[in-house]
Amino acid sequence: MSLSLNVALHGRIEGEATFCATSRFIGITGPSGAGKSSFLRCIAGFEKEAKVRASWPSQIASKEVQLKIGIVFQQPLLFPHVNVQGNLGLARRHASKNAISIEEALTGCCCSHLVHKSIDSLSGGEAQRVAIARALVNGPDILLLDESLSAIDSQTRRKIYRFLHKLCASSLLTCLVVSHDIDDLLLFSDELVYIHNGNIAAVGEVNNVIQAMFQYGGMESMETPSAVIDAVVEHLIAPEVGKIAEPDSSLNIANKVYSVMALGQRLYVSEKSLTPVSAYSHTSSESKDGENKPLTNGQPVRISIKASDVSIDTNVSETCEQTTSSILNALTCHIEDITFFDSHQQGRVLLTLGIQDTSTQGSDNDKNGSQIHQEPLYAVISALSFHRLALERNMPVVARFKLL
């Protein structure tokens, strides 16, 4: 049995969302005031006037005890009369059997160093980390996060998302996460929900929902869509000379740059923009102290590329390895689909691009021999450029973007 939610609260939110049985980390997005928080509040039982029908996954529905739902708001709502350790200790008193330890929650939420701090001494981001850790040590079956990581810096936020995704993969936990950060949701969500004007407008695989958002005009108050590209690390680049850096190199590189291969095409990407695929599996890419391990040659990774960062070139003879441009990254593609913005966003066009597979004999397999699956790339261009370049479906093009 899969998770299915039907919610109705007059004037605020209405609709149904059904997910695949394997989906455990579900992203929720939409414009401000669309009804995202109301959706979570209905599920949590806070809205007494709401009509909610829920079918839970069989593993949860078969539990002998009552379903436990945890929720963390944008405002952390920590207990001010005790310190961080006291907050987690109180939550632990009524924990379920599947709850993780306080130590594991502190490490996974990057707040071990805060354990003896008073609540009034925490910054906004620190308080949010502690609030999520407190919710986890209580052992919920369903964890609802309502912009709960909004004050946390990007690098730490993604560490926490990796930890949560690993928990979902290795336990009975299901997370529903509201966020305006499309890149985060694309990287970590098994499925995505788009809420528009109080209605659940689209549910499903993330790339399908992104296109639906575009058609609804949902990008008007949000960033342009992003694509998640699967790749394999080739080697570390020494930026001073543009050559391969030795594995034991003592170069002091503040922001390391790696050469990666995506379907046989080479890209140059900074370390901060690479997410190890192992972060999505039972095997974490992080050491016990929460620090990321160095990337290794042959390691599968994911890259998030914003559509607004992609430009289109019809000169397909000039690629990444043969270019006079300072824009290093170039992917040979073909135009799969063309979507025009709705009436209140005239002047821009969304291109869905299929990346050409130029690999030979499975060169883009990871070091375990698994074939790398590739999702489409997106580009948002002006209608003027679209017509001047005479673009059409199935046309070969080169997608260019700067080092991320």
Q: Where are the domains of the chain?
A: 3-222, 228-240+255-278+294-360+373-402
Interaxial angle between packed helices 124-137 and 154-170, expressed in degrees from 0 to 180 and rounded to the nearest 10: 10
Kindly state the helix (H) or strand (E) to which residue 6 belongs, with its residue range: strand 4-9
* Three-state secondary-structure class, residue 337: strand
Determine contact, residues 295/233, Cβ cutoff 8 Å.
yes
> For each of the chain's 404 residues, which pLDDT tens digit applies?
689 999 999 999 999 999 998 999 999 999 889 999 999 999 999 999 999 999 877 656 555 557 899 999 999 999 999 999 999 999 999 899 889 999 999 999 999 999 999 999 999 999 999 999 999 999 999 999 999 999 999 889 999 999 999 999 888 899 999 998 888 898 899 999 999 999 999 999 988 888 778 777 655 545 567 888 889 999 998 655 556 665 545 444 556 899 999 999 999 998 888 888 865 543 444 444 444 577 899 999 989 898 889 999 999 887 656 667 788 899 999 999 998 865 545 688 889 999 999 876 444 555 554 444 567 899 999 999 999 999 999 999 999 998 77
Q: What is the pLDDT of residue 393?
A: 96
Determine contact, residues 314/389, Cβ cutoff 8 Å.
yes
- Partner residues linked to 209 by β-bridges: none
Paired tokens of 87: 């907050």
Task: Tell me which CATH code domain 3-222 carries.
Answer: 3.40.50.300
Fold of the 228-240+255-278+294-360+373-402 domain:
OB fold (Dihydrolipoamide Acetyltransferase, E2P) (2.40.50)
Q: What is the pLDDT of residue 219?
A: 57
Q: What is the pLDDT of residue 289?
A: 42
Q: Tokens 């109301």 appear where?
A: 38
Alpha carbons 87 and 102: distance in angstroms, whole number:
10
Paired tokens of 125: 């981001």
Q: What is the pLDDT of residue 206?
A: 87
Cα–Cα distances in Å, from 60 out to 24, 56, 174, 269, 390? 12, 6, 10, 41, 53
Q: What is the pLDDT of residue 237?
A: 86
Kindly state the helix (H) or strand (E) to which residue 124 belongs, with its residue range: helix 124-137
Cα–Cα distances in Å, from 340 out to 156, 258, 358? 36, 35, 30
pTM for the predicted model, two decimal places:
0.81
Q: What is the pLDDT of residue 373?
A: 52
Q: What is the pLDDT of residue 172?
A: 81
Q: What is the pLDDT of residue 388?
A: 96
